[in-house]
Amino acid sequence: MMVWLLALAGGLAVFLIVAGTAGNAGSASGSAHPMYRPRTARSLGKAGPSAVSAVVRAGAGRALRADAVNARYLRQLKQADWYWAPAEPAPLKRRAPFWNLETLWAEKYFGVLLGGAGAAGLILLAGMIGLLTLEFTGASPVGLAVPALGVGAALVGGLGAALGFTSPDAQLAAAALSRQRELSLELGFRIGEIRSDVLAGVTLPTAIGNLSRRAGGPFIEELRRMTTALKVDADEVAAVNTLLDRNQGNEFVMEFGNTVRMALLHGARVESALNALADAAQIRLRQTIQAQGRRNAQEMARPVALTTTLVISMLVIAPAIAGIVEGIG
Amino acid sequence: MAFLLALLAGAALFAIWCGVVLPRGPVAPRPIPARQRAERRLIGLQARLDAAQMEIRAFDFVRQSLLLGVGLGVGLGLLLGAIVLAPVGILAGFLFTWSTLERERDQRQVRYNKHLAGACDVIRNSYSVKPSLQKALEAAAIYTQSPVKEDFGQLLIGYMQGEFESTLDAVAERRRSIVFDGVANALLRAERAGAGVTDMLNRLALTTRENVAAFEDAVIAQTTARSNVQWGTYGPWGVFAVFRTLSLAFSLTGAGGVFGGLTTFFSTPAGNLIALLAALITVGAYVYCYQLAQRGLVVRRVGGADALPEPSGAAQAGTERGSAVTSPGAPMRGQRPLGPAFETGGEA
């Protein structure tokens, strides 16, 4: 009887996983609000009138409550260039798994659902197969096997849910950090180009506009966004503020943005300020590169040491232990 | 028998890899040579190689990797007696070939950038003697070293034909160098300004030198880190190779009983499993650390696909530039025409 109950629980868990991942695959994307439009197969943007859409609504509700946490998420979404809202002039990034607070929280709750139910379901399934095998071979399972299986499934399910809840945070933080690093690096290289333009007699906004039209990396992307905003509402200071708002905490961008804002507000000649900024950026660029190189080497030391130890243990110690065991036997 | 199985497993792994990674080429209307057929099937791989600025044909890449991989697989299989290592050896062959090509690319880029800094000095000196951009470009095309010499030759032709901006864009897209981008922008500005850009060109020469030094620092940091990864991951296998050779040698002498278990362990199923796990851990660590080595030291280049829509006021300029960017220009002598991946992004 208990075995059949376990089988039922396992089956339900599997159904939950399948329903969570594929249940809404056929929902009409054309009618969805652009904020929730489909992005990937896993994304909750596919939410239709189902359990998953309830998760989205829960995510939206949650998004309105946790202000401090949401402020950090919003900042990171912008830093990673994943942020998108209906008023944004730029289209959604194809790579972004979520693009605003609602979709982020929905992804987190979906992670809880998927991770928790998946892990617990797997444990229950494995336990069920084990118990059924015991049943068919005629051996009687230990009395505490079923409660232990339930506790194990709950614990592993909890762990899976916690992992599912926190993994979007880690993903977002890594993307934000990575993009800001790239941006700082590129800014160090590119600032000389703006200076060249200004020295050739071009105004600063035009120089920024010229640079934004060229191929480049994240810094050029930011300049393009700035130029687009400028074309829309013709407010240069607001455009710079957008740049600063999207890259909060990036020292290089702050310095660049403040210099540009100063020049725009006071109408001053910017050659000398740009010269100083470009010279400082060049020095800092090399310092940043050297520091990053050292940091990478330092962070690589752990996996390399771990791999070396593991591989040597497996190749040298494992056969030795096998030999000893064989000798004793 | 074991080696036959190992080879079959390796071939199966390669076939799966080809099936997953490489798209099918167009259907050939009539029988074509085997090499051309193979090259058509490797279009996807060629695009990846081009995007990573590797100067090699996909067919040659596969051939080199397989040669190295089969050697490694057979060597590992012979040394350990574990047949599962043969496909891992083939996989390692591809990784090692890619690493070698990356190192060559980095060296090539550093060399190119250094020559570019020299070209900027020539331009500055020439302009200070006679303030004419055409003369300065001529001087750069004459007095610099290849391949910068050819690039400035192309720029000079573009300048004389009134297509300076599109030629600059074509060369910039081909080189995909963040240092060249700066030079291109300054030259374009000098062309637009007409005169009075001596100060700007002076600054350009200094800035380019600084940028080249920074770029070289980034490459050196990556090379050092990759070298550490290689020693860290090859090391245990080197130590084990020595140990294994000694134990095999001892097993042939009177002391064979001492190492009896060690010489046969890896030919058992458990030994095969452990050897496979060790190899996969090594490959995983190698790939992970390789990615870590370039963290924060590489700028992703954004092409037209991810770009914001052009502002309406700049529609005309945007259209002109768009066509220039997507046309890579005629290839120089000794250079291959660029693949589509160059237009969509990569590393600077």
Test the B interface: residue of A223, A313, A315 with most B CBs within 10 Å: A315
Which residue in chain A has the smallest CA separation from B301? A217
Q: Using DSSP, state whether B302 is helix, strand or coil.
A: strand
Residue B331: CB atoms within 10 Å: 11
Rounded CA separation A298/B264 (Å)? 39
Per DSSP, the three-state class of A95 is coil
CA A37 to chain B, closest CA, distance in angstroms equals 19
What is the per-residue pLDDT across A72-126, written as a single tens digit (0 to 9) for each? 999 999 999 999 887 776 777 878 899 989 999 999 999 999 999 999 999 999 9
Find the mean pLDDT for residues A1-20: 61
Top pLDDT among A179 and A140 is at A179
CA separation for the pair A59, A61 (Å, rounded): 5
Predicted TM-score of the model (pTM): 0.72
Tell me the mean pLDDT in the region A152-168. Answer: 94
Is the Cβ–Cβ distance between B124 and B205 less than 8 Å? yes
* Cross-chain Cβ contact A211/B211 below 8 Å: no
Which is higher by pLDDT, B326 or A4?
A4
Among A197, A289, A315, the residue with its CB nearest the CB of B240 is A315
Query: Nearest Cβ partner of B200 from A181, A200, A296?
Result: A200
* CA-based nearest residue in chain A for residue B190: A200
* Cβ within 8 Å of residue A267, ≥6 positions away: none
Residue A214 has pLDDT above 50, yes or no: yes
Q: What is the interface pTM, i.e. ipTM, of the complex?
A: 0.70
Q: Within 10 A of A309 (CB to CB), how many other CB atoms are there?
A: 11
Choosing among 1.10.287, 1.20.81, 2.30.30, 3.40.50, the CATH entry for A178-289 is 1.20.81
A325 touches chain B (CB under 8 A): no
**What's at A63, amino acid-wise?**
A
Residue type, A83: Y
**Nearest CB neighbour to B229, from listed A218, A220, A304:** A304
Residue ranges of domains in chain A:
2-177, 178-289
- CB-hemisphere CA count at 13 Å for A316? 18
Distance CA A243, CA A232 (A): 15
Show the tokens assigned to B143: 């007095």
Mean pLDDT of the residues in chain A = 80
Q: Do B292 and A224 touch (CB under 8 A)?
A: no
pLDDT tens digit sequence for A215-234: 888 999 999 888 888 887 77
Contact (CB, 8 A) for B345 and B299: no
Q: Does A323 touch chain B (CB under 8 A)?
A: yes
Domain ranges for chain B:
109-215+324-347
A230, A311, A316: best mutation site toward chain B, by most B Cβ within 10 Å? A311
pLDDT of residue B6: 65
Q: Does a cis peptide bond (omega within 30 degrees of 0) precede residue A34?
A: no
Minimal CA–CA distance to B155: which of B329, B7, B299? B329
Token couple for A21: 């991942």
- What pLDDT sits at residue B4? 61
Quote the pLDDT of residue A24: 44
Q: What is the mean pLDDT of residues A8-31?
A: 53
Are the beta carbons of B310 and A190 separated by less than 8 Å? no
**pLDDT given at position A265:** 80
For chain B, say whether A319 makes contact (Cβ under 8 Å): yes
Q: Are B145 and B309 in contact (CB under 8 A)?
A: no
Q: Could you give the C-alpha distances from B100 to A127, B11, B64, B236, in angstroms and in order? A: 48, 23, 11, 21
CB contact under 8 A, A217 and B300: yes
Cβ-Cβ contacts under 8 Å, A181 against chain B = 295-296
User: Distance between CA atoms of B181 and B175, rounded to whole angstroms?
Assistant: 9
Ramachandran sector of residue B142 (left: φ over 0; alpha: ψ -120 to 50; beta: rest): alpha
Per-residue pLDDT tens, chain B, 348 aa: give them. 555 666 666 776 777 776 666 655 555 556 667 767 777 778 889 998 988 888 899 999 999 999 999 998 888 888 777 888 888 889 999 999 999 999 999 999 999 999 999 999 999 999 999 889 999 999 999 999 989 999 999 999 999 999 999 999 899 988 988 899 989 988 988 888 877 788 889 989 999 999 999 999 999 999 999 888 888 888 888 888 888 788 777 777 765 555 555 667 888 888 889 989 999 999 999 999 988 998 888 887 775 434 444 443 333 333 333 332 233 333 333 333 333 333 333 333
Q: Is pLDDT above 90 for A247? A: yes
CA distance A160 to A280: 48
Contact at CB, B197 and A314, closer than 8 angstroms: no
| Alpha helices, DSSP H, located in chain B | 2-21, 34-41, 43-51, 58-80, 85-129, 133-143, 148-160, 164-175, 178-193, 198-251, 256-265, 269-293, 315-326
